[in-house]
Amino acid sequence: MAVKLPVYMDNHATTRVDPRVVEAMLPYFTEKFGNAASRNHEFGWKAEEAVENARGQVARLIHASPKEIVFTSGATESDNLALKGVAEAYRSKRNHIITQATEHKAVLDTCKRLERSGLPAREAGCEVTCLPVASDGRVSPEDVRRAITPKTILISVMHANNEIGVIQPVGEIGKIAKQAGVIFHVDAAQSVGRIPVDVERDGIDLLSISAHKLYGPKGVGALYVRRKNPRVELAAMVDGGGHERGLRSGTLNVPGIVGFGKACELCEKEMTEEGERLRVLRDRLKSAIVTGLDGVTINGSLERRLPNNLNLSFAGVEGDALLMGINDVAVSSGSACTSATLEPSHVLRALGVTEELAHSSVRFGLGRFNTEEEVDYVAGRVIETVKRLRELAPLYEAAKPRASR
């Protein structure tokens, strides 16, 4: 079968909306266009019913109650609401936050803001502890335990990393947080819909989700907020009409929410089979590339990793030059949210990867619509292009690494 170009393998940045999701959304742009907050006519009732149905679909995927789902514009807003909302709600009691070095910038930059200047009307900012990770990309639960102080109010650790796909030990950290009476927030933008997520099993109190990472539309997401054992209090960051139980005011994006819910329903049904298929494709891609090239390094743990992720460094090659050389393949050199910066990936640097190798890294994110033929084509293009670029850099042979994996 001929490969249709360009090939898309940047599914950590965003996913194509599943046609079944589009089909579910379409009526809510036209004949069912009501505002879900309009409570006095049928247009509003139908919109509200659709929103509540979607709330249930999202909740089921993460083993939560529909009443614990707050709709937002995406995981970045959810992260901000979680961190700033907790810091504001509990500021008179405790002000210490624990996170780790490979978090998404939506968490790290929010922590910096809270640390630097606190929130409006605050005289002092929060105290933030940012823990290191091991060379495999995972934070130590014992480091988390040791970092807790009597002032600690929140631990924020992502489930799966957006660059290297490494899965953090959130279950162990959740138990530690519960024992210490500390709220536990998880950025699960990359994991929900790709691997099982259970907020009850893992002791998660706040969880951020984004629809466009799981074959839903852009511009919609959710924050799970635990309602009991313990009940988590949040200060609203957006004031207005009191939507979403007062936690996030603003007219709800009904078509987007409907699509989000449908995407979650599909993931709940198909995730296990799809995950295994993507793992096979990922391993096929890895095997072809590391067999065809020397000087290739796999970044992060391969065992504790999302099934669709592969992050490789190519010694002697600039990542941007490689991307330009395979311009009929959509991959990335890091997070889509930081691709405009010339700085090496903060994630790879946290793993101890040298600046040179960090600049040579490429992230492959496979997805629902990728095929074996596409995998083989991409592997061939990468091998061909890396060899050509190395021929243009004669110093590579002299500095060839002693071993590759």
Assigned token pair, 287 = 């095997």
- Between CA 383 and CA 319 the distance in angstroms is 13
DSSP 234: -
What is the CA 398 to chain-centroid distance, rounded?
A: 39
Residue 23 neighbours by CB under 8 Å, 6+ apart = none
Assigned token pair, 166 = 């490494």
CA distances for 159 relative to 85, 96, 174, 191, 357, angstroms: 20, 21, 11, 6, 25
Q: Cis omega (within 30 of 0) on the bond before 66?
A: no
Please choose, from the candidates 210, 223, 261, 225, the residue with its C-alpha nearest in 3D space to the C-alpha of residue 50. Answer: 261
DSSP 70-116: EEESSHHHHHHHHHHHHHHHTTTT--EEEEETT--HHHHHHHHHHHH
**Exactly one of 111, 264, 267, 337 is catalytic; which is it?**
337
The reply to whether 337 belongs to the active site is: yes
Assigned token pair, 85 = 């909302």
Residue that the structure tokens 């004669």 belong to? 394
- Between CA 294 and CA 308 the distance in angstroms is 23
For residue 95, count other CB atoms closer than 10 A to its CB. Answer: 21
Assigned token pair, 84 = 């700033």
Sign for the pseudo-dihedral over CA of 232, 236, 237, 243: positive
Q: Tell me if 52 sits within 8 A of 38, measured CB to CB.
A: no
Residue that the structure tokens 């579910």 belong to? 24
Amino acid at site 357: L
- The residues assigned a catalytic role are 337
